[in-house]
């Protein structure tokens, strides 16, 4: 429904606001043409200006984006993380608590150019973080961005996992099979060994892998931090359902996109079912 003039809410059976989950949910809800569905998406549009300027094509020659869009070749045909691994950072864990993304490249941070040397980067994600961050309103202005404080590595447990994971990466890269490539530690550098040094390095290198979740977590109605109940209904607000990563009570043991799509599938079932309670069980 994108691009149409906004209509009165009463003209629709479902008004869906959202991105990943919202797209799937709107698709499922509108499969039956009897359902009138409005999808509102406030995300950014195509912000690459040269695509919209007549002589802009001159700037597109040799551009990886164009190579991909027109010819399906070039660096954008390659996934950055070509190897994944789930492992225990320490044998005391009963299941894998660390997810490794291994990339055949190195860069200072996301969005920066690649490093000027051949490299591999093994980023390790703590799948059971115990640090808790906060999202706060920064201003009464609803359009002002909120303050987001991830509060990474604020527990002993998370610092321990970071140190153990860094050492595990070093053990893997130190295996005989890789020695013909003469690997050298780049970051954290070879001089850093002790727990404290490695924790500090983890804090300096560490960043998000964009798997935000839990700001409207599912829980029982009398639970203090619960945003939605087991039917995905916003607690205390009739007719409003949340179905996206924000309802996850804890992070999934891996990437979040597919779990979000599954939440949307479940929400579609619930919303289309007369017997929501039976389905949620
Ligand atoms: C850079 C990046 C890389 C990622 N890579 C992967 C990956 O490789 N694999 C993987 O599994 N997951 C990945 N993820 C995570 C995955 O994309 C997300 O978990 C998933 O898309 C979340 O879906 P969602 O529906 O919860 O939220 P979103 O898809 O983010 O949708 C939220 C929507 O809400 C809209 N919105 C925000 N504020 C308002 C407002 N005030 N009013 C109305 N609408 C609003 C936004 O425009 C957006 O459309 C990545 C995320 C990012 C950012």
Render pLDDT for 145-177 as a digit per residue (tens, 0 to 9): 999 999 999 999 999 999 999 999 999 999 999
CB 120 within 8 A of CB 102: yes
CA atoms within 13 A on the CB side of 202: 25
| Mean pLDDT calculated for residue range 49-72 | 73
Q: Which atom of ligand 1 is nearest to the CA of 81?
A: 8
CB 256 within 8 A of CB 246: no
The residue to mutate among 40, 251, 260, 261, having the most atoms of ligand 1 within 8 angstroms of its beta carbon, is 260
| Cα 24 to averaged position of ligand 1 atoms, centre (Å) | 13
Specify the residue with its C-alpha closest to ligand 1, atom 2.
210
Taking the C-alpha atoms of residue 260 and residue 246, their distance in angstroms, rounded to an integer, is 9
pLDDT of amino acid 80? 81
| Cα 191 to averaged position of ligand 1 atoms, centre (Å) | 38
* Backbone phi and psi for residue 26, each to the nearest 5 degrees, phi listed first: -60, -40
Q: Is the CB of 252 under 6 A from ligand 1?
A: no
Tokens of residue 26, six digits: 């709107």
CB 249 within 8 A of CB 217: yes
Tokens of residue 84, six digits: 């994944």
pTM of the model: 0.84
Among 112-116, 167-171, 202-206, 257-261, name the one with the lowest average pLDDT: 112-116
Q: Is the CB of 260 under 6 A from ligand 1?
A: yes
Tokens of residue 76, six digits: 């954008």
| Cα 17 to averaged position of ligand 1 atoms, centre (Å) | 12
178 CB-near residues (< 8 Å, 6+ apart) = 172
Q: Where are the beta strands (DSSP E) in 137-240?
A: 147-149
Q: Is the CB of 259 under 6 A from ligand 1?
A: no
Residue 60 has pLDDT above 70, yes or no: no
């Amino acid at each position: 429904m994108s691009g149409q003039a906004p209509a009165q809410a009463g003209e629709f059976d479902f008004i869906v606001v959202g991105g990943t989950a919202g797209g799937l949910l709107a698709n499922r809800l509108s499969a039956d043409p009897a359902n009138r569905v409005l999808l509102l998406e406030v995300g950014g549009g195509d912000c690459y200006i040269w695509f919209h300027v007549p002589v802009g094509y001159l700037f597109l020659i040799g551009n990886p984006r164009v190579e991909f869009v027109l010819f399906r070749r070039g660096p954008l045909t390659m996934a950055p993380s070509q190897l994944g691994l789930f492992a225990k950072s320490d044998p005391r864990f009963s299941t894998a608590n660390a997810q490794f993304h291994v990339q055949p490249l190195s860069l200072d941070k996301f969005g920066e150019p690649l490093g000027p040397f051949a490299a591999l980067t093994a980023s390790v994600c703590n799948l059971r973080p115990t640090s808790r961050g906060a999202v706060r309103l920064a201003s009464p202005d609803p359009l002002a961005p909120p303050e987001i404080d991830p509060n990474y590595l604020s527990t002993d447990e998370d610092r321990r996992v970071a140190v153990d994971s860094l050492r595990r990466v070093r053990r893997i890269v130190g295996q005989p099979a890789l020695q013909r490539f003469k690997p050298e530690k780049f970051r954290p550098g070879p001089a850093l060994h002790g727990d404290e040094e490695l924790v500090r390095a983890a804090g300096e290198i560490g960043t998000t892998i964009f798997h935000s979740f839990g700001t409207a977590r599912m829980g029982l109605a009398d639970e203090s931090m619960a945003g939605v109940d087991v039917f995905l209904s916003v607690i205390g607000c009739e007719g409003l359902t949340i179905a996206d990563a924000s309802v996850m009570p804890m992070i999934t043991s891996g990437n979040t996109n597919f779990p979000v799509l599954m939440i949307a599938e479940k929400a579609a079932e619930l919303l289309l079912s007369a017997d929501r309670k039976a389905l949620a069980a």
